[in-house]
Structure 1
Amino acid sequence: MMSQEQNELITRVGPKAPAGKLMRMYWQPAGLVDELAGDRPIKPVKLLGEDFVLFRDEEGRYGLLDRDCPHRGADLAFGRLEGGGVRCAFHGWLFDVNGKCLETPAEPASSKLCAGIKQRAYPVMQRGGMLWAYLGEGEPPAFPELDCFAAPAAYTFAFKGLFECNWLQAMEVGIDPAHASFLHRFFEDEDTSAAYGKQFRGASAGSEMPMTKILREYDRPIINVESTEYGLRLIALRQLDDERTHVRVTNQLFPHGFVIPMSTEMTITQWHVPVDDENCYWYAIFTSYTKPVDKEKMLAQRLELYELPHYTSRKNRSNDYGFDPHEQARETYTGMGADINVHDQWAVESMGKIQDRTREHLGSSDKAIIAYRKLLRQEIEKVAGGQKPMMFLDADNARSIQGPGTMDGIGPTRGWETYWMEVDVARRRGAPWAAPASNETSATVTHLSAAE
């Protein structure tokens, strides 16, 4: 049983909170590139409990500054984009992407005030259709060579959505293999050829069997959890018969991400990014290993549920997530429609703004949750002791974090351990872009091929 003090330790992310100090050691998604694609590329951003302004200047450079003007505290998110930066609408003070004060026009022409003014600024990088900010001190870490960063832009699609709850309970749903058999249960199987862009709706690799059928009929998976250099690997096994086992391989990407298979051709790399202690955005990059992503279709599918500009769900707490008791009795498991994003949102928001973990009772199917919380506490303690945490990477180590491998398919009951690696490596080798394979899986598959 977890104490309230332990729950506070792993959930709170403000600047002085231990988990907040850990989170500031990593690049954080601050927005989608598309959010700054319009005529006025500037927006307020709340991240890890702090307020910023994110913008693109006239030269195309991205900047993230503290939101309050250092003159009298007015809101820079309402500023004018001109003169090489963002100009406060109150007195015209002008700041570039590095926080340098370029002008204080209300002051006398001879004034040297501007030279001594600097707004706090943060590094911003563009990766995978997202804008990443580093809020920590010193030099930021290098980016790992994940598939979603290695793939060309045509083979990725980025999106996000708001959850009105703490980041940790939102993240933990993604490393819970058991819930999909219930929360995402479908009573009837659809045509898998029409499953593009939809999770759990296609056929598993190496078969014609719909994923919906597997989840529905085999709801007691054996879950293996392995420690890796990037976090955790989760393997969920659903034995169909003596010869065949469904194998689903997913990954927890420390500190607050996961990588999961979406279909035989796509993966989802997703981060649950704290807005503050009681809200978070999920940011996802969908990566294709076959053909370029149909971005228009992917966007249209998601805009059926999510409203711009804040990427809020049309089905939410205020309307009971569209819950219909008659639908639940006759048509769907949850009574909340067929979109699994709604299911997940209900599950994590229904726990409360910050889940009270002192009241929960974990079982053996929660072993990934238990392992992750242990890892999180361990890395929080490292940072508190002045050490660098897991996945704070230098350039050399960043190149070693590749993939990571995922798989969703039906393989042999005896030999599934290498089967999933073979499927993953074959997909990478067949990709039209240079999809890196981890040393572990490449060596295993090469060894097997040589032995054969």
Structure 2
Amino acid sequence: MTTHEQNMRMTRVGPGQPAGRLLRRYWQPVALIEELDDLRPVRPVKLMGQDFVLFRDEAGHFGLLDRDCPHRGADLAFGRPEDGGLRCPFHGWLFDVKGNCLQTPAEPENSKLCQRIKQKSYPVVLRSGILFAYLGEGEPPAFPDLDCFIAPDSHVFAFKGHIACNWLQALEVGIDPAHASFLHRFFEDEDPNANYGRQFRANSADSDMPMTQVLREFERPTIEIERTDYGMRLIALRELNEKSTHVRVTNLLFPQAFNIPLSAEMTITQWHVPVDDVNCYWFAIFTSFTGPVDKQQMRAQRLELYELPDYIPRKNKSNSYGFDPYEQKTRTFTGMGDDINVHDQWAVESQGAIQDRTREHLGSTDKGIINYRSMLMKAIDQAETGNEPPLMVLDAEAAKAIRGPVTIDGIAPTGAWQAYWREADARKRAAAPWRAPAVLAAE
């Protein structure tokens, strides 16, 4: 059972808090690249309880600075991007992406005040449509060679959405293979060809059986857990009959991302990033192993649910997540529509702003969550003591060994499911039009 002290230790993310200290050791998604457009290449960002301003200068360089101007604390999120930096509208002080003060124009011409001013800045890099920032001390870790980072831009699509609860419960739904048979149950199957880009609507690989049918008719998965060099592999097995078993391979990418199959064609790598202790954003990269991603269609689908500029769900607690009792009786298990993001959002937000884990009773299908919490507590301890780097704080050499990982949703011979998922992944990678390196040698 999780104690109150352990729960607070895992969930609180502000500066100096145990989980906050750990998460600052990693690159964190802060915005989609499309949020910095030509009209307004400046955005306020709140991350792990801290306020920042994110901007792109005229040369295309990205900067993340503390949001309060070091002169008299005015809000730099209203700054003017000009003259090689971001200018505070209050008195015209100008800062570059590294926080250097370039000008204090109201001061006397011979003033040296500017040379003594430095605004706190943080490294920012662009990866596959997402801007990542590093808030920790010292050198940031290297990025691993995950599929979502090495696929070409044409084969990735990034999006995000807000969730009104703590980051940890939002993440944990992604490492719970059992919930999909209930929370995401559809009473009727649809044409997979008409559901491009939608979760659980495709056929399972190497079969003509829709994933919706698998989840609906086989609700008691056997779950296998394997610790890996990137975190954890989860294998959910649903025996269809003596000859065939459905195999779904997903992954926990430590510390706060999971990697799952969207279809035989596409995977999702999704981070859950704390805004503060009681809000988070999910950031997802969809990676195609076949043709280029139809980004226009993927974006249009998701904008039906999320409202700009803050990517707030249109269905939420204020409108009961679109709940329809007739739909619940006739079409979906939740009665909350077809988008599984709404289902997940209801599930985790209904647990409260910060789930009280002292009141839960975990079962055998929660082994992924149990394993993850053990890993998380160990890493929090390591971040506090500094005796050894936590899992996935990588140098350049170690990062090259983290590949893939494998995701599969397919139907295998019952007696050979272990060989099947490895072979199916190898076939997928061999047929990919971009370099999708084999991962088994590194596992």
State if a TM-score over 0.5 links the two structures: yes
C-alpha separation in 2, matches of 1:130 and 1:40: 17
Aligned to 1:28, the other structure's residue is in SS state strand
Identity across matched positions, percent: 67
SS at match of 1:293: coil
Q: How far, CA to CA, are the matches of 2:102 and 2:240 in structure 1?
A: 67
Indicate the residue corresponding to 1:212 in structure 2. 212
- 1:164-175 matched pairs, under 5 angstroms: 164-175=164-175
Measured against aligned partners, the alpha-carbon deviations of 1:150-203 in whole angstroms (never above 9, x if no partner) come to 000000000000000000000000000000000000000101121210000000
Question: In 1, are the aligned partners of 2:334 and 2:343 still within 8 Å (CA)?
Answer: yes
Question: 2:402 touches 2:442 (CA, 8 Å); kept in 1?
Answer: no
In the other structure, the counterpart of 2:368 is 368
Aligned to 1:412: 413
Corresponding residue of 2:224: 224
Structure 2: which 5+ residue stretches go unaligned? none
State the distance in 1 between where 2:441 and 2:216 align: 32
Q: Supply the AA of the counterpart residue of 2:219.
A: D
Aligned partner of 2:102 in structure 1 is 102
Counterpart residue type for residue 299 of structure 2: L
- Report the alpha carbon displacement of residue 441 of structure 1 after superposing the two structures with TM: 7.7
> 1: CA distance between counterparts of 2:11 and 2:441?
33
User: Residue 328 of structure 1: CA displacement?
Assistant: 1.3
Q: Following the alignment from structure 2 to structure 1, what is the Cα–Cα distance between the partners of residues 308 and 40?
A: 15
Paired with 2:425 and 2:38, the residues of 1 have a C-alpha distance of 38
Counterpart AA for 2:362: L
By how many angstroms is 1:329 displaced?
2.0
- Partners in 2 of 1:436 and 1:16 — Cα distance? 39
Partners of 2:431 and 2:329 lie apart in 1 by: 45
Q: CA deviation at 1:228?
A: 0.2
Task: Name the SS of the counterpart of 2:271 in structure 1.
Answer: strand
1:298-447 equivalences under 5 Å are 298-386=298-386, 387-440=388-441
RMSD in angstroms over aligned alpha carbons? Answer: 0.9
Preserved contact between residue 94 and residue 101 of structure 1 (Cα < 8 Å): yes
Distance, in Å, in 2 between the alignment partners of 1:407 and 1:330 is: 30
* Comparing 317-326 and 200-209, the one that deviates more: 317-326
- Look up the SS of the partner of 2:183 in the other structure: coil
Per-residue Cα deviation, 1:305-336 (whole angstroms, up to 9, x for no partner)? 00010001000011110111222122221111
Partners of 1:401 and 1:333 lie apart in 2 by 38
Counterpart residue number, 1:19: 19
CA distance in 2, matches of 1:204, 1:330: 24
Other structure's SS at 1:235 match: strand
Q: Is the 8 A contact 2:403 2:442 kept in 1?
A: no
**Cα-to-partner distance string for 1:94-146 (whole Å, 9 max, x where unaligned):** 00000000001111111100000000000000001100000000111100000
- Aligned with 1:414: secondary structure? helix
Tell whether the 8 Å contact from 2:401 to 2:442 is kept in structure 1 after alignment: no
Counterpart for residue 253 of structure 1 = 253
- Number of residue equivalences: 442
Give the whole-Å Cα distance in 2 for the aligned partners of 1:358 and 1:276: 21
Match of 1:114 in 2: 114
| Cα distance in 2 for residues equivalent to 1:331 and 1:245 | 26
2:244 corresponds to: 244
Q: Partner of 2:234 in structure 1?
A: 234
Q: Distance in 2 between matches of 1:332 and 1:150?
A: 37
Q: Report the TM-score when normalising by structure 1.
A: 0.97
Contact 1:58-1:84 within 8 A present in 2 as well: yes
5+ residue gaps, structure 1: 443-452
Q: What residue in structure 2 maps to residue 141 of structure 1?
A: 141
